[in-house]
């Protein structure tokens, strides 16, 4: 059996998750229809300069902690 969807792989720890394709489609303002997918809770997409990376919930929390610590030290 095949299920259509998207596979997410964390660019830091390589954890995998899968989002199943929904039957509803979204029009992009023209005649092109884009599929919609289930929302994978906690996953984030971060910009690293010129490229994007996907992070799992654990790695997203760690990154946010580092960012918060950085800004706390900048304020002091």
Q: What is the pTM of this model?
A: 0.69
Rounded CA-CA distance 2/46 in Å is 30
CA distances, 11 to each of 25, 58, 69 (Å): 28, 12, 22
pLDDT, tens digit only, all 76 positions of the chain: 688 899 999 999 999 999 998 876 666 666 667 778 888 889 998 887 788 889 999 999 998 899 899 888 765 5
């Amino acid at each position: 059996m095949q299920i259509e969807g998207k596979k997410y792989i964390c660019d830091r720890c390589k954890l995998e998750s899968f989002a199943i394709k929904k039957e509803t489609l979204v029009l992009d303002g023209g005649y092109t229809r884009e599929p919609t997918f289930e929302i994978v809770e906690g996953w984030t997409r971060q910009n690293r300069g010129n490229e994007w990376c996907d992070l799992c919930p654990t790695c997203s929390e760690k990154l946010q902690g580092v960012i918060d610590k950085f800004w706390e030290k900048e304020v002091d």
